Amino acid sequence: MNFDAKIPSGPLPQKWDRYLTEAKLVSPNNKRKYELIVVGAGLAGASAAASLGELGYKVKCFVFHDSPRRAHSIAAQGGINAAKNYQNDGDSVERLFYDTIKGGDFRSREANVYRLAQVSVKIIDQCVAQGVPFAREYGGLLANRSFGGAQVARTFYARGQTGQQLLLGAYSALSRQVGLGTVAMHTYEEMLDLVVVDGHAKGIITRNLVSGEIACHAADAVILATGGYGNVFNLSTYARGSNATAIWRAYRRGACFSNPCFTQIHPTCIPVSGDYQSKLTLMSESLRNDGRIWVPKNVGEKRAPGDIPESERDYYLERMYPSYGNLAPRDISSRAAKRVCDEGRGVGESGLGVYLDFSDAINRLGLDTIRERYGNLFDIYKEITDENAYEVPMRIFPAVHYTMGGLWVDYNLMSNVPGLFVLGEANFSDHGANRLGASALMQGLADGYFVIPYTIGNYLTGIKGGRPAVDHADFRRTEEEVRARLKRLLENKGKRTVQSFHKELGKIMWDHCGMGRNEEGLKKAIELIPQLRAEFWENVTVPGSGEELNQSLERAGRVADFLELGELMCRDALDRRESCGGHFREEFQTEDGEALRNDEDYGFVSCWEHQGDDKAPVRHREPLDYEHIQMAVRNYK
Amino acid sequence: MKVRLKVWRQKNDRTAGSFEHYDTPDLNPNMSFLEMLDVVNEVLTEKGADPIAFDHDCREGICGTCSLTINGKPHGPHRGVATCQTYMRSFRDGDTITVEPFRADPFPVMRDLIVNRAAFDKIMQSGGFISVRTGAAPDANTIPISKEVADLAMDAAACIGCGACVAACKNASAMLFVSAKASQLNLLPQGKPEKDRRVLAMVQAMDEAGFGNCTNQYECSAVCPKLISEDFIARMNRDYMAATFRQTFGSVPSTVVGG
Ligand SMILES: Cc1cc2nc3c(=O)[nH]c(=O)nc-3n(C[C@H](O)[C@H](O)[C@H](O)COP(=O)(O)OP(=O)(O)OC[C@H]3O[C@@H](n4cnc5c(N)ncnc54)[C@H](O)[C@@H]3O)c2cc1C
Ligand code: FES
């Protein structure tokens, strides 16, 4: 298989402009004739649906939520990057581009990342015009903060609710189009399969989550913006409903899955407290601007943090990475936390925690400033742990937070299945092996507002033959398969709950495909997961029927897909015999425990192709050819 | 600890519902209220019974999905806290806890504790936006906005659209929600050009969706998980009066904002 990314020719800084001047346009009259399906209304989906509707396409937008405003994007706290250089601290498109490529440990595609940095500046303009209330300085201009992996302050934020405000901005644009009739909004409607006709994506099969009705929807192109798949680990910072079904079903219909093992473990989350735990809560990375991370120097320290003198504390990030200190990138900070905890220096009851201490910042800046900057995060911390972080240091521990992998897309954001586009966290494209903080929001909005509206025309102008009717044989067949699967889940009537399988899968994934991975563990997981999957289909119980609101059934389908995806992640992790970014293979590390990359053999994007239920998938590759920069050792010391 | 739950069960929006009692297994006080329901649901599922349907997603107080009325109070006992951030340590061993959906006519119960809040989307579609084309925006720092105004707009924007305000109001008024949404945009210079049209359209859509009148009791602010201030209601009332005045005297077209 050929993975041609279709990158425009010319020097890197000019590629996107050149693309825009050469892109084929669809005339306004013709736009009305095209029907587009957008699945998802997070930052990526809402911005895409709104912009495409505004251009005159007929858009149908689907979400499993009750409203587009509930997408998981709403939970993003910290901020969004853009190369505005409003702080006059030397930022530029080139610098944001380089930071992102380097942050991703040289495993992302140059041309996509460069374009992302270029359009980042327009995103902020767009959002401000929509009324997004970003934080401002007293002079009335926009304020910025810094985030991990950058030495400039380029992150825009709205208190600790940046994702919420950006999503509400995109949602307002989408609402406007719904009101104008250009976008038909389908809430409570979950995509359960992709319909491919003559090799092109031509529609989807959905289930209405309230009535249980199964429906077929045909279109000229299908856009998936369905978010990340981190809930494969069960415990994560994702919303409980986030799932991989849309992209996994597309994978099973021929779309290749790239770099599935690249997952991000976020260093600053509230530690697990018990077996009943249903999710992990992120404490925004922005806290690392002012908080200092430390553990006791002594193994088995029992004193309260306040009683441990300065000389017996190890500010390990500042020690190990003096130039970035507490703002070292996420993968590096998470691994460092794991290392000190593995040494027995972790804090809290479980020993799986490190301190994030604000006492210096409070002394330096005053309580009020800290309260103004982080008040809501301190409140969340208090609610969950019943501890006051103004007085005692927070306890934090890494947790699964983001998935860099996703469906393969070319420069147009189109997968290898023509007519299937993938945006936002659901695609693999921009973050390589590790995503920098505040870059996911940027990518979601870049894809939706500023890339897909231009690239989709190139596909639409080239297709022949219109939309198939929904009674086309391929629709009928796919629909039958969807119905059969639901029936099988409902009629199984086994003994174990869906949740119990999800928990068990999560544990396998965390133990063997989490922060540290090795050949033995991954091979074990590749044995265990198919066994668990077989047991699921033997022994799962799903109460109720398919013709009603049935949360157990929704959950069952999603967990069934995670049980397949988890195995693919382990296969990818096993296949990639190097360490890079969030993928740390214990066999491949430097003497001082840093990731040891192997550009010669693994300077590529993995592209996994489904072969059928009983066959191992095949790994293809898209080589990463860097023209503009050189792959370098990633150094934050 | 253990508690006894008195839970509203209802098959769908066409059938009547009733309360059922459930004794929970042993609980950890550090569980969230929703985790407690997860545990109860595991037991029900293992017994082959229908688990209790309840809405939730982010479980960190930001998505606005969770929506339980706990002991008669939308979002439960604590001020400024959503259902999902309520912990079992707020209750005592042996308590009986009543759990109901957010009750209001414009929010039909779809199953057990889940209500349909699509009416909020309808209001937003009528005017809860600034009409700006993608790609047509000027540089973000072109218009300085004083920190005070930006902060106040952000206070309004913090609304999570959960609907607790409506559930708490004896008239099922949506004024707190609508005024927060309208005020955010009306306060900012970018939102000024459409201010009158916005407020007229949103209020009309609110009335059409069947929400009741505000009689200034402010139960809404008291239960709001984000503590949105009732001052926004007064602000919107002023904006609405001014807009009606201008409309009557001819300077606002009577058509709604384009959708
Ligand atoms: C707690 C937290 C904090 C974060 N903070 C930041 C931050 O500060 N800065 C930053 O840049 N990034 C942050 N991120 C990451 C960022 O929020 C996400 O990567 C991003 O919002 C994903 O957006 P999306 O549009 O791709 O998907 P989502 O927002 O996840 O939206 C997915 C959409 O798809 C729909 N959907 C999914 N599957 C189906 C289906 N089968 N059928 C129908 N509809 C479906 C859903 O209903 C939803 O509308 C954070 C993430 C978390 C978990
Ligand atoms: S579940 Fe999101 S606010 Fe409670």
Residue A615 belongs to a domain: yes
CA of A227 to the centre of ligand 1 (A): 5
**Do A482 and A619 lie in a common domain?**
yes
What pLDDT band is residue A452 in, cutting at 50, 70 and 90? very high
**Do A481 and A610 lie in a common domain?**
yes
- Number of Cβ within a 10 Å radius of residue B10: 18
Give yes or no for residue A427 having a pLDDT over 70: yes
Pick the last residue of a domain from A372, A401, A430.
A401
**Do A617 and A496 lie in a common domain?**
yes
User: Domains of chain B: which residue ranges?
Assistant: 4-111, 117-249
**More confident of the two residues A147 and B174:** B174
Q: Which atom of ligand 1 is nearest to the CA of A426?
A: 26
**Do A508 and A594 lie in a common domain?**
yes
In this prediction, residue B249 carries a pLDDT of 87
pLDDT digits (tens, 9 = 90+) for A506-540: 999 999 999 999 999 999 999 999 999 999 999 99
Q: Which two tokens stand for residue A244?
A: 């991989």
pLDDT above 90: percentage of residues in chain A: 89
Tell me the sheet residues that pair with A195.
Answer: A203
pLDDT above 70: percentage of residues in chain B: 97
DSSP string, A393-427: -EEEEEEEEEE--EE---TTSB-SSTTEEE-GGGB
pTM over cut 0.90:
yes
Mean pLDDT on A455-477: 95
Residue A197 belongs to a domain: no
- Number of Cβ within a 10 Å radius of residue B31: 22
**Do A482 and A356 lie in a common domain?**
no
Q: Of A146, A217, A159, A139, give the one whose Cα is nearest residue A184.
A: A217
Q: Which atom of ligand 2 is nearest to the CA of B63?
A: 2
In this prediction, residue B254 carries a pLDDT of 54
Closest residue to B188, CB basis, from A124, A131, A135: A131
Residue A248 belongs to a domain: no
Q: B4-111 has which CATH code?
A: 3.10.20.30
Residue A338 belongs to a domain: yes
Mean pLDDT on A273-299: 91
Q: Which atom of ligand 1 is nearest to the CA of A281?
A: 1
In this prediction, residue B252 carries a pLDDT of 59
Angle CA B169–B175–B178, to nearest 5: 135
List CB contacts (< 8 A) between B48 and chain A.
Answer: 541, 543
Residue A592 belongs to a domain: yes
Q: Which domain holds residue A317?
A: 266-401
CA A46 to chain centre: 16
CA A102 to chain centre: 18
Residue A91 belongs to a domain: no
**Do A480 and A619 lie in a common domain?**
yes
Q: Of A435, A400, A327, give the one whose Cα is nearest residue A107.
A: A435
CA of A124 to the centre of ligand 2 (A): 27
Q: How many CA atoms lie within 13 A of A91 on its CB side?
A: 26
- Number of Cβ within a 10 Å radius of residue A504: 18
**Do A497 and A593 lie in a common domain?**
yes
Residue A256 belongs to a domain: no
Q: Measured between alpha carbons, how far is residue A93 from residues A10, A82, A134, A154 in Å?
A: 17, 8, 21, 11
Identify which of B57, B87, B224 to mutate to test ligand 2's pocket (most ligand atoms within 8 A of the CB).
Answer: B57
> What CA dihedral angle connects A112, A118, A120 and A122, to 10 degrees?
-130
Q: How many CA atoms lie within 13 A of A147 on its CB side?
A: 26
- Say whether residue A534 is in contact with chain B using an 8 A CB cutoff: no
How far apart CA A40 and CA B14 sit, in angstroms, is 29
Q: Phi, psi at residue A128, to the nearest 5°?
A: -65, -40
**Do A488 and A389 lie in a common domain?**
no
Element of type H or E holding B23: strand B18-23
Superfamily name with CATH number, domain B117-249: Alpha-helical ferredoxin (1.10.1060.10)
pLDDT digits (tens, 9 = 90+) for B25-72: 999 999 999 999 999 999 999 999 999 999 999 999 999 999 999 999
How far apart CA A49 and CA A449 sit, in angstroms, is 9
The 3-state DSSP class for residue A211 equals coil
Pairing of strands A189-197, A80-81: unpaired
Residue B247 identity:
Q
Pairing of strands A58-62, A183-186: parallel
The 3-state DSSP class for residue B121 equals helix
pLDDT digits (tens, 9 = 90+) for A136-195: 999 999 999 888 778 899 999 998 899 999 999 999 999 999 999 999 999 999 999 999
Ligand minimally distant from the alpha carbon of residue B83: 2
pLDDT digits (tens, 9 = 90+) for A43-65: 999 999 999 999 999 999 999 99
Q: Which two tokens stand for residue B61?
A: 């107080």
Tell me the sheet residues that pair with A422.
Answer: A224
Residues 6+ apart with CB under 8 A from A334: A265, A266, A267, A398, A515
In this prediction, residue B257 carries a pLDDT of 46
Pairing of strands A420-422, A604-609: unpaired
What pLDDT band is residue B259 in, cutting at 50, 70 and 90? very low
Pick the last residue of a domain from A401, A425, A445.
A401
The 3-state DSSP class for residue B247 equals helix
Across the beta sheet with A263-269, the strand order is A263-269, A394-403, A354-357, A292-296, A313-314
- Cβ of B53 within 8 Å of Cβ of A140? The answer is no
CA distance A57 to chain B (A): 14
Pick the last residue of a domain from A401, A426, A448.
A401
* Number of structural domains found in chain A: 2
CB of B62 shorter than 6 A to ligand 2: yes
Q: What is the CATH number of the domain that holds A480?
A: 1.20.58.100
Residue closest via CA to ligand 2's atom 3 equals B61
Q: What is the CATH number of the domain that holds A329?
A: 3.90.700.10
**Do A480 and A390 lie in a common domain?**
no
